[in-house]
């Protein structure tokens, strides 16, 4: 099935009991791009990802991934995606290579050993492939986790706060991996609370606030929403943090003023 968007969401709603979390989300992601979804705790980022990955059923609206409806055709959606959660889901008893072989076998991919070796090389883990993952650093575990997600070459990858708990060096390793994936044509929807992460990785950025996407665009387009702060001799461009606070109604001009 052909589609002009890898991900299409329209009017999506979801409540937990009497508490509405998604109040009519509209979102489109072009193939082969990285979209960063920003939002405060409780904004609904993980709920949206869970719906898009068919782990949760929406109350209303529509969501399609690679042209497949998440409600009426969940099997096709699952065949098109992979999901990496906030914590690396690797088996620490197994080696890195054994983790990959296991996933490839479960997904019935031909020649699991060759697939494992190719992914170890792709993610700079060949030398560590024979070691138990309990000995891996945080960045290595996360790279292995993402490698496991790519078994079978899914065209769409959901990364739900992938650098949670990582030190700065490990975070940079993950950033490099995501950049390479996008360069190879993988569509990535990235949820994050690290605004620098969105600045570094995303082609487009969407801000989810109180259950709705309240703005979406390139970094340059979002920065244009806030008048640039100035000092006596130089002009200061607003940071993404200032843009985020301004569009959700917290800080705004006073925040920019304070940072002069």
DSSP labels, 112-163:
HHHHHHHHHHHTT-TTTTTSBGGGS-HHHHHHHHHHHHTTT--SEEEEESTT
Length of the chain measured in residues:
260
Q: Which of 24-33, 85-94, 180-189 has the lowest mean pLDDT?
A: 85-94
Q: Which residues contact 1 (CB under 8 A, 6 or more apart)?
A: 66, 67, 68
Dig out the tokens for 72 from the structure: 């009426």
Strands 235-236 and 229-230: antiparallel
pLDDT of residue 253: 44
pLDDT confidence tier of residue 131, bands split at 50, 70 and 90? very high
179-200 average pLDDT score: 90
- Topology classification of domain 7-217: Rossmann fold (3.40.50)
More confident residue, 238 or 25: 25
Instruction: Write out the residue limits of the CATH 3.40.50.300 domain(s) in the chain.
Output: 7-217
pLDDT confidence tier of residue 258, bands split at 50, 70 and 90? very low
Taken in order 12, 15, 19, 21, the sign of the CA dihedral is negative
pLDDT of residue 255: 40
Site of tokens 């600045």:
199
pLDDT of residue 260: 42
pLDDT confidence tier of residue 170, bands split at 50, 70 and 90? confident
3-state DSSP assignment of residue 169: helix
- CA dist 132 and 91 (Å) reads 9
């Amino acid at each position: 099935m052909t589609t002009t968007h890898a991900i299409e969401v329209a009017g999506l709603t979801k409540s937990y009991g009497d508490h509405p979390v998604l109040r009519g989300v509209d979102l489109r992601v072009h193939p082969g791009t990285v979209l960063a979804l920003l939002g405060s705790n409780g904004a609904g980022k993980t709920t949206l990802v869970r719906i898009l990955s068919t782990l949760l059923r929406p109350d209303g609206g529509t969501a399609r991934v690679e042209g497949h409806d998440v409600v009426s055709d969940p099997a096709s959606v699952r065949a098109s995606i992979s999901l990496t959660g906030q914590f690396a889901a690797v088996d620490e008893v197994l080696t890195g290579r054994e983790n990959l072989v296991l996933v490839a076998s479960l997904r019935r991919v031909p020649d699991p050993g060759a697939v494992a070796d190719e992914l170890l090389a792709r993610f700079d883990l060949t030398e560590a492939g024979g070691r138990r993952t309990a000995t891996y650093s945080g960045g290595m575990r996360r790279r292995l986790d993402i490698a496991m997600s790519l078994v079978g070459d899914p065209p769409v990858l959901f990364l739900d706060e992938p650098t949670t708990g990582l030190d700065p060096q490990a975070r940079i390793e993950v950033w490099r991996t995501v950049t390479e994936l996008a360069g190879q044509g993988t569509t990535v929807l990235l949820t994050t609370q690290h605004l620098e992460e969105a600045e570094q990785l995303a082609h487009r950025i969407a801000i989810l606030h109180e259950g709705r996407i309240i703005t979406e665009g390139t970094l340059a387009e979002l920065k244009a929403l806030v008048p640039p702060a100035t000092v006596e001799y130089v002009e200061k461009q607003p940071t993404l943090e200032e843009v985020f606070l301004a569009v959700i109604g917290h800080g705004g001009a006073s925040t920019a003023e304070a940072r002069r």
